[in-house]
């Protein structure tokens, strides 16, 4: 078994109203995304606005410290999800409250919002006070993608990042989103509700070639952000699926939205020649029995189960080519590399990508974004995402048979291993083989275990049989 890292970036220039725009894409692991973020932070001249779900990268923290030390007047603001939480997400882990305190000590102004804030974007040298019409965007950078500010996002997970320079429309759209959250937020550390709520003034409309959709359009504009009845992102994705003529490639860490699953299945039924492929993360695997149970419960109580279902097997049984980037028999977030993308490529020409997981939670409870990249001038962006998808689609496929042989011949079973992109049916084969070789395997294993010795379980089963015999 071995690890293969895919290094890729794409650079192109397109014309915009201010002369030129550049879009560069990066794909993790080891694709240079965090190096680009650090470089852009260090080159900032007047302001840095960050919206981030998780932040544990010492590399990026060091860049913020350096730029603030060299340029004390630079304004750094951050909307940090759950910033006041005093509990770590694992034993011994630093809490978000401690992280926020450290950032405040560096001179970063921290706030948080009442909903989950799942964005992962940065605006360098933007215009937070609104536009008057004479702004120079030539030094402005927007960074947006799927990855958090963590070392695993840079070196372990499958992630993507778009670095967009000198694009007034898309940068302004994200600046408006940042200001909306900032104006209806809570300050750290005193948890005070903010009341500075000036409206963002601009006459710019969204670019036709780089256009974002935000889940904030589903919320009423108050500090609690209650729902208003919309579901704008999933509607946009459904519409894109219906528009496909040749192909649909979906890479998403989570797939928990039945309307999108049904849209893909219906598209395949209407056009059997449509090449539809979906690649998911290890966490999205569901056994046949669990799938039948969830579908039975859904038929009885659809509202109760909505958002909790896993659709890998549903898609597969519905005729959609579905693979899972499979790396563990029992997922453990601290160990396993995640397929953490959230993108879709239509017909090899259009890309939808951002922070949005394909889930009910993302649509209704979370601040998210999806950006639509389209047009001939952005063909290299679409090509870079397509190449990334195909690389993951065939990830370590040649290791499957070796893995099966190891289960049969080796004395211990690895619970976490180099990822392989497997059909749902191939994972079923592994489960059947494990139950045959090591009865009770899935009842005994724990996420933090790295290996499980065959004799460990077999000896326990033998003891149980002896005890049962003695009772007789």
Residue 6 confidence (pLDDT): 38
- CA proximity to 26, closest of 387, 420, 395: 387
- Cα separation, 4 vs 421, in Å, equals 13
Coil, helix or strand for 293?
Answer: helix
DSSP, res 229: S
Ranges of H-type helices in 127-277: 151-155, 168-183, 232-243, 258-270
Residue 13 confidence (pLDDT): 46
Instruction: Please say whether the beta carbons of 314 and 278 come within 8 A.
Output: no
Residue 1 confidence (pLDDT): 33
- Cα separation, 5 vs 122, in Å, equals 26
Residue 199 confidence (pLDDT): 82
Polymer length in residues for the chain: 472
E strands along 129-208, which residues? 141-145, 159-165, 186-187
Instruction: Please say whether the beta carbons of 313 and 263 come within 8 A.
Output: no
The per-residue pLDDT string of the chain (472 residues; one tens digit each, 9 = 90 and over) reads: 333 333 455 555 444 434 588 999 999 999 999 999 999 999 999 999 999 999 999 999 999 999 999 999 999 999 999 999 999 877 778 999 999 999 999 999 999 999 999 999 999 999 999 998 899 999 999 999 999 999 999 999 999 999 999 999 999 999 999 999 999 999 999 999 987 778 888 989 888 899 999 999 999 999 999 999 999 999 999 999 999 999 999 999 999 999 999 999 999 999 999 999 999 999 999 999 999 999 999 999 887 777 889 999 999 999 999 999 999 999 999 899 999 999 999 999 999 999 999 999 999 999 999 999 999 999 999 999 999 999 999 999 999 999 999 999 999 999 999 999 999 999 999 999 999 999 889 988 999 999 988 865 444 444 444 444 333 3
H/E run at residue 66: helix 58-70
SS3 breakdown of the chain: % helix, strand, coil, rounded to 5? 40, 25, 35
Residue 16 confidence (pLDDT): 43
The token pair that represents 146 in the structure block: 């799927």
**C-alpha pair distances (Å), 144 with each of 148, 292, 461:** 10, 38, 51
pTM, to two decimals: 0.92
What domains appear along the chain, each with residue ranges and CATH number?
A: 1-206 (3.30.870.10), 209-424 (3.30.870.10)
| Beta-carbon contacts of residue 219 (< 8 Å; ≥ 6 apart) | 115, 225, 226, 227, 228
Phi, psi (deg, nearest 5) at residue 163: -110, 110
CA angle 286, 344, 242 (to 5 degrees): 95
| Beta-carbon contacts of residue 376 (< 8 Å; ≥ 6 apart) | none
- Cα separation, 176 vs 225, in Å, equals 16
- Cα separation, 197 vs 179, in Å, equals 9
DSSP, res 245: S
CA angle 230, 126, 388 (to 5 degrees): 65
**C-alpha pair distances (Å), 190 with each of 79, 100, 111, 186, 374:** 15, 12, 10, 8, 44
Tokens 């996002």, located at residue: 153
Residue 10 confidence (pLDDT): 53
């Amino acid at each position: 078994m071995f690890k293969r890292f895919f290094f890729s970036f794409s650079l192109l220039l397109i014309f915009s109203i201010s002369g030129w725009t550049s879009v560069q894409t990066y794909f993790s692991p080891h694709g240079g995304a965090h190096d680009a973020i650090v470089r852009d932070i260090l080159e900032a001249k007047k302001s840095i606005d960050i919206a981030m779900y998780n932040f544990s990268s010492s590399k990026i923290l060091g860049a913020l410290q350096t730029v603030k030390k060299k340029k004390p007047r630079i304004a750094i603001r951050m909307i940090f999800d759950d910033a006041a939480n005093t509990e770590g997400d694992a034993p011994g882990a630093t809490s978000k409250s401690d992280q926020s305190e450290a950032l405040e000590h560096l001179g970063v102004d921290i706030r948080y919002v009442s909903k989950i804030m799942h964005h992962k974007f940065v605006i360098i040298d933007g215009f937070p006070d609104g536009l008057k019409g004479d702004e120079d965007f030539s030094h402005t950078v927007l960074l947006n993608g799927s990855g958090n500010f963590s070392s695993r996002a840079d070196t372990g997970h499958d992630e993507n990042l778009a670095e967009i320079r000198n694009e007034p429309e898309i940068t302004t759209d994200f600046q408006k989103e940042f200001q909306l959250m900032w104006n209806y937020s809570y300050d750290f550390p005193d948890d005070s509700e903010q009341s500075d709520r000036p409206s963002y003034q601009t006459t710019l409309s969204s670019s036709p070639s780089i256009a974002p959709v935000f889940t904030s359009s589903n919320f009423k504009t108050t500090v609690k952000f209650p729902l208003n009845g919309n579901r704008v992102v999933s509607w946009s994705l459904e519409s894109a699926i219906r528009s496909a003529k040749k192909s649909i490639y979906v890479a998403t860490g989570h797939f928990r939205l039945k309307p999108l699953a049904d849209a893909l299945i219906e598209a395949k039924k209407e056009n059997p020649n449509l090449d539809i492929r979906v690649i998911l993360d290890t966490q999205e695997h569901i056994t046949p029995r669990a799938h039948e149970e969830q579908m039975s419960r859904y038929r009885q109580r659809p509202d109760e189960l909505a958002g909790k279902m896993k659709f890998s097997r549903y898609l597969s049984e519905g005729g959609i080519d579905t693979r899972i980037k499979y790396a563990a028999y029992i997922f453990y977030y601290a160990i396993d590399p995640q397929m953490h993308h959230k993108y879709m490529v239509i017909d090899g020409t259009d890309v939808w990508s951002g922070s949005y997981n394909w889930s009910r939670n993302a649509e209704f409870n979370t601040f998210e974004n999806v950006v639509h990249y389209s047009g001939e001038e952005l063909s290299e962006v679409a090509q870079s995402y397509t190449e990334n998808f195909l690389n993951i689609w065939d990830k370590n496929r040649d290791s499957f048979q070796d893995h099966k042989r190891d289960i049969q011949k080796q004395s211990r079973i690895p619970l976490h291993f180099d990822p392989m992109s497997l059909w749902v049916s191939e994972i079923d084969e592994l489960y059947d083989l494990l139950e045959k070789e090591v009865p009770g395997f899935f009842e005994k294993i724990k996420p933090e275990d790295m290996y499980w010795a065959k004799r460990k379980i077999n000896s326990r089963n033998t003891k149980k049989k002896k005890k049962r015999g003695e009772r007789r």
